[in-house]
Amino acid sequence: MFIVNNYLLAVVLCFVTMLCWGSWANTQKLAGKTWRYELFYWDYVIGILLFSIFLGLTLGSTGDAGRSFIPDLKQITAGNYASALIGGAVFNLGNILLSAAVSLSGMTVAFPLGVGIALVLGVIINYIGAPKGDPTVLFLGVALVVVAIILNAVASGKVQRSGANNSSSNSKGVWIAIVAGVLMSFFYRFVAAAMDLNNFESPTPGMATPYSAFFIFAVGIFLSNIVFNTIVMRRPFEGRPVTYAAYFRGSLSTHLVGVFGGIIWGLGTALSYIAAGKAGAAVSYALGQGAPMVAALWGIFVWREFKGAPRSVGWLLTLMFIFFLSGLGAIIISGAN
């Protein structure tokens, strides 16, 4: 299987993760013009599952290092299967809530808040589970990101008061994003616990490689979606209930947009797990969770979510990006130590 052998390549893969995690929600925006997010989310989950199979049968089955995808799946213990499956279910619940928050409050508000909370708590959880890197520099980087999150919240508050975003659903979306962030801070650790992060070349018997762990994680997302998304379809956060009949009436192009969104997110997540063997789970997770900066850029320059806001908001957003970049820089340095 393909294995990362140096820290620089691991950092590059983590930046691709950041781009993917910060960009997949654009497909929700595109589909949302004619398609409820509850229906979009089914295609998104299917995209993740299909990509996990494709990746396992390609990169996960290439070369002589490590265990190949299919043989690895056969030898993983029940406990490690359960850990990765639980990670998928926890992620899915958090991500459904984050999707709802994006639908209610917009990318620029929901993403930095929800994913920012997930970053702070997730780095702490993953570092405790698998300590790697300089903790002082790592948590300094996290602190800088926290400042960026606060600046974004202040900017969003100014937009709300100015009437640039007068949706009555904004407040509900903020609270949903907070809950989503707390849930999403835990998923990565469940999956990482199923892998032998210290030795991808010759992993401990019974433990998973990144490719098999990602596939099991994707299965956990799919199975839990049958429960979670069915509930949300029947009792939506906003609007009328939707049915499975409505899903099957969707056009092929609309379905493909959602599947593509799942592939984008799945690529980022798989690369994060692959990089974790060299960078460590905390650093790999933290770099990927720079996604709010990417999402905010999409929200500001493409979706125009801050259109008509006071000039002071522009300065706050500029400071937000500076603190985000500084925080990400510190996180990179921490992993090199």
pLDDT by residue (tens digit) across 243-270? 999 999 999 999 999 999 999 999 999 9
151-163 average pLDDT score: 68
Q: Where are the strands (E) in the chain, listed by range? A: none
Residue 148 scores a pLDDT above 90: no
What percent of the chain has a predicted confidence (pLDDT) above 70?
Answer: 94
Three-state DSSP class for 195? strand
> Which residues does residue 195 pair with via DSSP β-bridges, in sequence order?
208
pLDDT digits (tens, 9 = 90+) for 108-145: 677 777 877 888 899 999 999 889 889 999 999 989 98
| In-domain check, residue 1 | no
| In-domain check, residue 232 | yes
Which pLDDT does position 31 carry in this prediction?
85
Q: How many Cα neighbours within 13 Å face the side chain of 191?
A: 35
Q: How far is 181 from 74, CA to CA, in rounded Å?
A: 33
pLDDT category of residue 337 using cuts at 50, 70 and 90: low
Number of domain units in the chain: 1
- Smallest CA-to-CA distance from 147 within 120, 171, 124, 125 is with 120
Residue 73 scores a pLDDT above 90: yes
Cα angle for residues 134, 135, 140 (degrees, 5° grid): 105
Residue in the block written with tokens 């493909």? 256
Residue 238 scores a pLDDT above 70: yes
Residue in the block written with tokens 């199975």? 223
24-48 average pLDDT score: 88
Residue 134 structural domain: 7-336
Q: How many CB atoms lie within 10 A of CB 311?
A: 6
Which pLDDT does position 206 carry in this prediction?
97
Residues 6+ apart with CB under 8 A from 160: 166, 170
- Smallest CA-to-CA distance from 284 within 144, 147, 148, 122 is with 122
| In-domain check, residue 210 | yes
| In-domain check, residue 85 | yes
Residue 293 scores a pLDDT above 80: no
pLDDT category of residue 333 using cuts at 50, 70 and 90: very high
Which pLDDT does position 157 carry in this prediction?
67
Residue 279 near residue 7 (C-beta atoms within 8 A) = yes
152-170 average pLDDT score: 62
Which pLDDT does position 169 carry in this prediction?
61
| In-domain check, residue 293 | yes
Q: How many Cα neighbours within 13 Å face the side chain of 52?
A: 28
Q: How far is 137 from 204, CA to CA, in rounded Å?
A: 30
Q: How far is 72 from 67, CA to CA, in rounded Å?
A: 6
12-41 average pLDDT score: 88
- Residue 95 sits at φ, ψ, to 5 deg, of -75, -35
220-245 average pLDDT score: 94
What does pLDDT average to over the chain?
A: 88
pTM of the complete model? 0.88
Q: How far is 85 from 67, CA to CA, in rounded Å?
A: 20
| In-domain check, residue 2 | no
Residue 104 scores a pLDDT above 70: yes
Three-state DSSP class for 28? helix
pLDDT category of residue 291 using cuts at 50, 70 and 90: confident
Three-state DSSP class for 194? coil
